[in-house]
Amino acid sequence: MKNLKRKDYLDRLEQLLDILKENETQSITDIATIFNVNNRTVYRMIYSLEQQGYMVDSGRGYPRLIARHSELDDDITTFTQQEQATLQEVIMTLMQNDPCMKGLEGPLGDKLRSVVMPYFMCNKHQLRCVSKINEGMQNHKQVVLCGYRSSHSGTISNRTVEPVQWSPNYRQVYAFDTDRHEMRCFVINRIASVNVTPKSWQFGKQHVKMECDCFWMTGTPIEVDLHLDMLALNLLHEEYPLSTNYKIYENPTPNCELPYRVRMTVRSLLGVNRFVKGLELHAKLIELPRTALTSHPNVPTE
The whole-number pLDDT of residue 143 equals 95
DSSP string for residues in 85-133: HHHHHHHHHHHTT----TT--HHHHHHIIIIIGGGGSS-HHHHHHHHHH
Domain ranges of the chain: 6-69, 73-120, 124-206, 222-287
Give the DSSP letter of residue 9: H
* Strands of the 222-228 sheet, one edge to the other: 248-250, 260-266, 222-228, 283-287
Beta pairing partners, 54: 68
> Which CATH number describes the domain made up of 6-69?
1.10.10.10
- Residue 95 and residue 48 in contact, taking contact as beta carbons nearer than 8 Å: no
- Strongest mean pLDDT among 45-54, 130-139, 288-297: 130-139
The whole-number pLDDT of residue 13 equals 83
Helix (H, G, I), strand (E, B) or coil at 170: coil
**Would you tell me which CATH number, out of the four given (3.30.70, 2.40.30, 3.30.450, 3.30.300), belongs to the domain 222-287?**
3.30.70
Instruction: Give per-residue pLDDT as tens, 188-198.
Output: 888 988 999 99
Of 200, 293, 284, residue with least CA distance to 236? 284
C-alpha separations of 238 from 103, 158, 175, 241 in Å: 18, 35, 28, 6
Instruction: Give per-residue pLDDT as tens, 95-149.
Output: 444 445 445 555 566 666 666 666 655 567 777 888 888 888 888 999 999 999 8
Q: Which helix (H) or strand (E) holds 224?
A: strand 222-228
Q: Which top CATH class is 124-206?
A: mainly beta
The whole-number pLDDT of residue 141 equals 92
pLDDT for 72 beyond 70: no
Burial 38-65, CB ≥16 within 10 A → b, else e: eeebbbebbeebeeeebbbbbeeebbbb
pTM: 0.53
The whole-number pLDDT of residue 200 equals 93
Give the DSSP letter of residue 140: T
Please state, as a whole number, how many other Cβ atoms lie within 10 Å of the Cβ of residue 257: 11
